[in-house]
Amino acid sequence: MYSIIPLQAVPNQTFSSKIPVDKQNITLSFTLNYNELANYWVVSITDSNGTMLITSLPIIPAQNILEQFKYMNIGSAYVVPRQTISEEWPTENTLDSDWYLVWSDTDG
């Protein structure tokens, strides 16, 4: 099953989302930040108990950004363009307008 996680191009935002992963619903909290020096977004993820699972993970398009975290069984996540775009990465202002964060079951 695929779920779209709503993102906003607002640095330092924190939000929670209930996501169907591997035949169960998990609640994760996300904190998004924009790295102005490197010009990319990063996300930190905590579980429903407030335990930090992942910190400052770059939001890189077109690949499973959770690939190295398969052992956590929190799913797979891909950043994909909503339409034909000219940029390679979500910019400070286009994360919410031009890109989707698509979450699905754990790969592999």
Average pLDDT over residues 1-18: 91
Tokens of 14: 């924190």
Q: How much is the pLDDT for 11? A: 86
Judged against a pLDDT cut of 80, whether residue 108 lies above it is answered with no
User: What's the predicted TM-score (pTM) here?
Assistant: 0.90
Residues contacting residue 86 through CB under 8 Å, at least 6 positions apart: none
Average pLDDT over residues 23-41: 95
Percent of the chain with pLDDT over 90: 84
Residue pLDDT, tens place only, 36-56? 999 999 999 999 999 999 999
Judged against a pLDDT cut of 90, whether residue 62 lies above it is answered with no
